[in-house]
Amino acid sequence: MRMIVFTLCLITLIVSTLSVPITDFLARPVRYDNHKLIQLKRSDAALDFISKNNLDIWHKASDVLHVRASPKDLESLAEFSPEVLIENIQESIDLETKSLKQAALAKRAVDDATWFQSYHTFTDIVQWLQNLSQKYPDLVTLVPSIGKTTLGKDIPALRITSKNGATKKKFWFQGLQHAREWIATTTMQYVADGLASGYATDASTKKLLDEAEIIIIPVSNPDGYEYTWNGDRLWRKNRRNNGGGVYGVDTNRNWPDHWNKGGSSTNPRDETYMGPSAGSEPEVRALMNYFLQLGNIVGAIDYHSYGELIMWPYAWIDMDPMAVSQYILLGKTMKNAIQHVNPQERYQLQQISKLYIASGSSSDWFYGDHVSQAQGFHGISIAVELSPADQQGVSNFILPAENIVPVGNETLHSIIAFIEYALAGKFVAKS
């Protein structure tokens, strides 16, 4: 009898433990009622107005801008003839929240079979990474912590390769520097799963993992990501306490390569706040230190959303790298791999600085002098803006979960093409 009572209590405790967190997480105090997503024609005047008024830019293309606008903001932007893409951003968030709650009720634990049908909390992601390493122990190694976040969370990494004793070139893929870009972390998870599961069934994947080691950082900004679940769905930065009730640094403006050279802000309230000094953020230092510790990393890609762009350095200055022609050929190879899965004419190729200046970015650091001197060669550095495209702004950061698999699948194919291209010696990076 005591055993029955104990078992019932344990079941109740487990169910309570699994159901309460999702409710707590999704009770976000920050709301965006009647805020709209608008599209403006890109111009210096529009960019200057947006900067001076500290408006939230969601996407920059060569010809248009996507901006979140409160009712008051919309009035002040009238001179730029805004086109409304989303009437009420909060309604999109509420629909996503409803879907997340339904998914949480449908399953009470991390489940491989349904994993890519929904987005997941950071805690569940860490558990899933552990499950993946246990499922494929000869291929996948979980590194529980490559360093700590601002709030003391561990930043996990995966190392994926066949353990054949060979000395291998390494490739680095990271996602979710910007917390609200949820599709970036699901894509990294999908790629990890696809590589591990494909080893036994796909000859090209087997060859790739026999010759190379893949490093994946699924969540580069755990504090910010968790805050998008329990505080503000549209939060972008990390959670540094800047004082005065102001939080966050844009980690992708904090890397110590031409830091504070433009395209970032000294105002802690801004979305692109660069931080108090180059490399000041624990998340950035953790990523850098682990990258340099591993060594022999011949290619790195930093994943963001949205816009469907394959981009390369430089970000800090509008100057072509000497390897620009090779980047174009590599970009076309990645684009062709995506089109093989999804034949639409979609991803565009772009040097970052031709689109916008962004000093202190990871893309410049991966390609820059510090890394090249440490490794003895210039590695390949790419930044990708995932789906949707800019003309599909109705989806934006709040991308429905049914997009997880198609975006993940096309990215997996583009990553395989990227690695094969590099291993074949087709890309020789120069300064």
Instruction: Report d(CA 308, CA 330) in Å as an integer.
Output: 16
Q: Which CATH number do you get for residue 42?
A: 3.30.70
Give the per-residue pLDDT at 112.
76
Q: What would the pLDDT profile of 73-117 be if each residue is shown by its tens digit? A: 999 999 999 999 999 999 999 999 999 998 877 765 566 789 999
Lowest mean pLDDT among 10-19, 270-279, 310-319, 360-369: 10-19
Mention every residue, 6+ apart, whose C-beta is less than 8 A from residue 138: 162, 163
Specify if 284 maps to a domain.
yes
Q: Is 226 a catalytic residue?
A: no
Structurally, how many domains does the chain consist of?
3
Q: Is residue 95 part of a domain?
A: no
Q: Are strands 140-143 and 157-160 parallel, antiparallel or unpaired?
A: antiparallel
Domain of 8?
Answer: 2-28
pLDDT of residue 329: 96
Nearest CA to 299 out of 419, 412, 196 is that of: 419
Say which residue, 334 or 103, is predicted with more confidence. 334
- How far CA 175 is from CA of 50, 89, 228, in Å, comes to 27, 24, 15
pTM for the whole structure: 0.92
Assess whether 249 and 270 both reside in one domain: yes
For residues 56 and 132, membership in a common domain is answered with no
Residues 72 and 203 in one domain: no
The answer as to whether 102 is a domain residue is no
Residue with the bigger pLDDT between 112 and 152: it is 152
pLDDT computed for residue 421 by the predictor: 97
% of the chain with per-residue pLDDT over 70? 91
From 220, 219, 228, select the one nearest 247 (Cα to Cα).
Answer: 228
Verify that 255 and 230 share a domain, yes or no.
yes
Report the CATH number at residue 190. Answer: 3.40.630.10
Model confidence at 9, pLDDT cuts 50, 70, 90, reads very low
Asked if 306 and 93 count as a contact pair (C-beta separation under 8 A), the reply is: no
The β-bridge relationship of strands 380-389 and 309-312 is antiparallel
Residue at 52 is within a domain: yes
Asked if pLDDT for residue 221 goes beyond 90, the answer is yes
367 prior amide bond cis, ω within 30: no
**Mean pLDDT along residues 132-136:** 97
Beta strand 36-41 pairing with 83-86: antiparallel
Q: Could you tell me which of 209, 196, 225, 213 has the C-alpha nearest to residue 125?
A: 225
Both 274 and 375 in a single domain?
Answer: yes
In-domain check, residue 313: yes
Instruction: Classify each residue of 16-54 as buried b or exposed e, where b means 16 or more C-beta atoms within 10 Å of its C-beta.
Output: eeeeebbeebbebeeebeebbbbbbebeeebeebbeeee
- Supply 189's token pair: 């998870």
Amino acid at 93: I
Is there a single domain that holds both residue 57 and residue 151? no
Residues 228 and 368 in one domain: yes
Same domain, 232 and 283: yes
**3 state DSSP class of 159:** strand
- Same domain, yes or no, for 65 and 189? no
Q: Does residue 217 fall inside a structural domain?
A: yes
The one catalytic residue in 75, 385, 402, 410 is 385
Residues 129, 164, single domain; the answer is yes
Residue type, position 431, single letter: S
Same domain, 185 and 217: yes
* 189 falls within a domain: yes
383-416, pLDDT tens digit by residue?
999 998 865 556 689 999 999 999 999 999 999 9
The pLDDT score that the predictor gives to residue 430 is 59
Residues 10 and 49 occupy one common structural domain: no
Q: Within a domain: residue 242?
A: yes
pLDDT digit string, tens, across residues 289-298 = 999 999 999 9
